[in-house]
A and B are shown apart, each in its own frame.
Chain A
Amino acid sequence: MNAEELRKDFPILSERINGHRLVYLDNAATSQKPRQVIDAIRRYYEHDNSNVHRGVHTLGSRATEAYEAARERVARFIGARSPQEVVFTRGTTESLNMIAHGYARAKLGEGDEIVLPPSEHHSNLIPWQQAARATGATLRYLPLQPDGTIRLEDVEAAVTDRTKIVAIAHVSNVLGTVNPVREIAEIAHRHGAIIVVDGAQSVPHMPTDVVAMDCDFLAFSGHKMLGPTGIGVLYGKAELLAEMEPTYFGGEMIDVVDLYESTWKEAPWKFEGGTPIIAGAIGLAAAMDYLEKVGMAEIERHDAALAAKAVERLAEIDGVTIFGPPPGQSRAGLVTFNLGRVHPHDLATVLDARGVAIRAGHHCAQPLMRLFNVPATARASFYLYNTEEDVDALVDAVLEAKEFFGHAIG
């Protein structure tokens, strides 16, 4: 793949930021959108816009076809057995909350355990805290190695017949570690537990095969993978979605409504109460077309190579601390770091003045920040349109920040 060529598809990358070329390294927060996605959404609104699943008129049929075709697109992208295993949601957070609400609460009871690492994003942590509080179940945390990895022997020790759910990110949004979800799924299943995988940082950056992974649920967001905001996916094995209760009730999701009780459609439609996110689904399908054309395995290699180079060069700067796997060790396409005592907000402001956009803060992972004993960190995350020139710009800007704060902070 040729990142330099791909950049031309992304209009925003020609923005000048504070007089500099935009170096967009906040892809783990959200990705930029190619013209193909923007056009697909505009085309839908200009030619096909209508509500789905109800109109008898021509536009109603076109919109319904496009929306259901998007579902099939997603199913192919993640290797689902059927499009009916794909539920459209607002994003990863909503998907995970729907599982915790509609599935977990009915299954959990006193003495049951939910196993998860302390490095999870708040959206794969708080829903489980809430489910545990509501049912009397308890949370059991997996230990992290100093490099942020999780050892399978620790998973073996933590997962028992009391475990009902294992919740884990495929790729950590802070550490950049790739967790062995397939092996963890095998351990969970041996004990009769299900595994919920947060794919927010993995599905955009590597090939996904839910059957090979054998996950029971997978949640991810469209906006981190070139799609629009406001659309996400909840994948669930057909038999689990059949058991799972809807979270929202109302139009669109019903079968028969009576004065005192009602019945629902089958999955996935029973989970999509109200007018669904039609344009979002169409935009996500266009994003998946784009990504697949480039090639997910190519993208995975590209992002990881840039992150590896960034880690290597940042680690050479005196005063830089790298979190997660050290240089030379495998990691996904992001790097989290700090520069001495320079607060990440100050660092990010100096970088922004040079056109370099990074994330600074707790990354929605406060328990992990406490484990590191830092209030916040800086994070650079890469995607298919980033280049080695972007890594150079990042490193140069960090050196400038060091110079700028050096005299004051030491």
Chain B
Amino acid sequence: MQLDDLYRQVIMDHYQHPRNRGTLDEGAISVDLRNPSCGDEIHLQLLVDDGIVKDVRFLGSGCSISMASASMMTEAIKGKSIEEAVDLAHAFRAMMRGEDVDLEQMGELEALQGVNKFPARIKCATLAWQALERAASVPTGGHVEEETLGE
């Protein structure tokens, strides 16, 4: 087990300098999700217009993996259609299960692939993506509150 496989430089960079951290004004979809087994939590907001993710912000607390994954996700989905964003979420979770995925589609997210060798940390990486999937099923302006991540 190599720690450098897990803590790649790009991950540490996103952890130290999170992108799109903050909140959006009214009209955004909000999701609050937490992982009760470790206490990680995320508040994710999406501004969706005409089916396109126009803007995205997050707040939260958690380990480097969960916060870096959230930061990287916001960059990856901004400007994409909501369907493309959900597709990417599915692909990301498949990558976490150790399945073969199109690494080109993953782009920078490929740096998180090493997490799948650390079973205890996979949930950290997928928290933001599960929040995204929930957000995609909510109408504009809607809010999913304090939902708890199951097993």
Contact = CB atoms under 8 A, between A and B. Distances in A.
Given A343-B62, A345-B63, A409-B16, A404 B38 contact: no
Contacts of B41: 375
A43 B44 CA distance: 55
B3 A350 contact: yes
A360 B64 CA distance: 14
Contact of B38 (A350, A376, A408, A409): A376
Nearest to A348: B120
B67 to A, nearest CB: 8
Contact of B124 (A345, A366, A369, A375): A345
Given A18-B1, A408-B16, A345 B37 contact: no
B75 to A, nearest CB: 19
Contact of B121 (A345, A366, A375): A345
A405 B1 CA distance: 17
Nearest to A360: B38
A343 B39 CA distance: 11
Contact of A361 (B3, B15, B37, B121): B37
Contacts of B13: 408
A349 B3 contact: yes
A362 interface: yes
B39 A408 contact: no
Q: For B38, B40, B121, which residue has the most chain A Cβ atoms within 10 angstroms?
A: B38
Most buried by B among A349, A353, A361, A405: A349
Contacts, number: 48
Contact of A408 (B1, B12, B118, B121): B12
Nearest to A376: B39
Contacts of A312: none
B3 A353 contact: yes
Interface in B1-53: 1, 3, 6-7, 12-13, 15-16, 37-41
Nearest to A19: B1
A376 B124 CA distance: 14
A49 B27 CA distance: 65
Contacts of B148: none
Nearest to B16: A408
B105 interface: no
A346 interface: yes
Contacts of B85: none
In the complex, the 6 A-B pairs of residues with the closest C-beta atoms, listed nearest first: A343-B63, A345-B63, A408-B12, A18-B1, A362-B39, A375-B39
Given A349-B3, A366-B39, A375-B61, 15 more contacts: A343-B62, A343-B63, A344-B63, A345-B38, A345-B62, A345-B124, A346-B64, A349-B120, A361-B37, A369-B39, A375-B40, A375-B62, A405-B64, A408-B12, A408-B16
